[in-house]
Amino acid sequence: MDDLIVSVLSGEATASEQRSVERWRRASAENERVFQEFLHAWRIAGLHESQERIPAPPPAEQIIEAAHRRRQYATPLESAPSRRRHVWHWAVAAAAALIVAGLGSLRIFSTPVSLTTTGPDEVRTITLADGSIIRLGSHSELRVPENEPRTVHLTGVAFFAVATDSSRPFIVETSVGQAQALGTRFEIRAGRDSLRLVVLEGRVGLTAEGQSVEASAGELSRITEGVLSQPEPVDVWSLLDWPRGILIFQATPLEQALEEVAARFETRVVIRDTALAHRSVTAWFETEPVEEIVSTICQVVGARCTVGALIEVTR
């Protein structure tokens, strides 16, 4: 399949081969992720810019040097022979060496952008190097540059629980605008020409075409056809409609975290020791029962909890 992908990207594939690659891509989200990694590396290496062909590639040292000039990473390992050599431009040979090797036992290429994609019924949770947690919804794509993990690129829908770092804002870039936060929880739905921001905790700045607003907890703002709307109060939980549920906390005060748990499970919470209320929780949950969620949260903050007609917290 790696040879077929390179053939498709280089314009050499037959109609039958193109259909084979399309069927393979649709077979699973993992296949699509692999294809997107090929495509991204192909583009940033500039392989699509020239279709000129010469009989043979230059020495491997020149290929590695060219890769370095394109700000890629290479480790000189012995590569396996390819099944197709006779018509490739040397840059295509470089793609085979620097891209395809990542799919087998060799790895001499590492893309500088981490890419995560999801299928139609798929949801993924990602933890970044800075501790931020991202819940990526279905039919979505998230790109995270390795050299700047607090600037991400989103297409689709994602819920963000951002780790606080006052020296480096967290930025979400989309095709229509940019969101910026220091430490907060929010959801963004980003389409080709529209965006919806819902803030659960903290504040998020939103900019588009020279306009800017700041939305606070419990507020919504939109970008529609380049126009940025003023924040408006909303029922946040009615909008955060995630498959299999979502509970993500990032340095969230215990009182607020348990109130969200209580709201999800339609119960009440009582914290008997007020000194515990401001202890913070960083965790995420999916389908766990309320007893397990509460027990985990209370262990994190060093409290004792009981779950019955209500959630009761003591020291």
8-state DSSP, 105: S
Give the count of domains, the chain: 3
Cα–chain-centroid distance for residue 35? 17
> Whole-model pTM above 0.75?
no
DSSP string, 16-76: HHHHHHHHHHHH-HHHHHHHHHHHHHHHHTTGGG-----SS---HHHHHHHHHHTT-EE--
Question: What is the per-residue pLDDT for 218?
Answer: 92
SS3 234: coil
Q: In what order do the strands lie in the sheet with 269-271?
A: 269-271, 311-314, 304-307
- What pLDDT, on the 0 to 100 scale, is given for residue 107? 34
User: Does one domain contain both 178 and 281?
Assistant: no
pLDDT tens, residue by residue, 23-42:
677 666 677 777 777 776 66
Listed residues 204, 239, 274: the one ending a domain: 239
Query: Domain check: are 229 and 253 in the same one?
Result: no
DSSP classification of residue 47: G
- Residue 225, judged by CB atoms within 10 A of its CB (0-12, 13-18, 19+), counts as exposed
If DSSP codes are grouped into helix, strand and coil, which group holds residue 29?
A: helix
What letter would DSSP give residue 276? G
User: Is the same domain home to 270 and 170?
Assistant: no
Can you give the residue range of the structural domain that contains 127? 114-239
Considering the domain architecture, whether residues 232 and 252 belong to the same structural domain is answered as no
Are 40 and 107 found together in one domain? yes
- Say how far residue 197 (Cα) sits from the centre of its chain: 16
Residues 234 and 294 reside in one and the same domain = no
State whether 220 and 262 are in the same domain. Answer: no
8 Å CB contact between 187 and 200: yes
pLDDT at 43: 58
Task: Note whether 224 and 133 are same-domain residues.
Answer: yes
Q: What share of the chain is helix, strand, coil (3-state, %, to 5)?
A: 30, 30, 40
Q: First and final CA of the chain: distance in angstroms? A: 59
- Residue 237 parent element (H or E): helix 236-239
Q: Do residues 120 and 233 share a domain?
A: yes
- Are 14 and 101 within one domain? yes
The enclosing domain of 146 has a CATH number of 2.60.120.1440
pLDDT tens, position by position, for the chain (315 residues)? 777 787 777 777 776 777 777 767 766 667 777 777 777 666 555 544 444 443 444 444 554 455 445 434 333 333 333 333 333 344 444 444 444 444 433 333 344 568 889 988 888 888 888 889 999 999 999 999 877 879 999 999 999 999 988 888 999 999 999 999 977 899 999 998 899 999 999 999 999 988 899 999 999 999 998 899 999 999 887 787 665 567 888 888 999 899 889 888 889 999 988 888 888 888 888 778 899 899 888 888 888 988 988 899 988
CA-CA distances (angstroms) from residue 119 to 60, 156, 160, 181, 207? Answer: 37, 11, 19, 28, 29
Q: Residue 132: which H helix or E strand, with range? A: none
Is residue 125 located within the same domain as residue 62? no
Q: Is 130 left (phi over 0), alpha (psi -120 to 50) or beta?
A: alpha
DSSP-derived letter for residue 55 is: S
CATH of the domain at 253: 3.55.50.30
Residue 257 and residue 288 in one domain:
yes
Q: How many CA atoms lie within 13 A of 58 on its CB side?
A: 7
Residue pair 211/177 in contact by the 8 Å Cβ criterion? no
Where among 49, 80, 111 does a domain terminate?
111
Domain end marker among 214, 239, 264 = 239
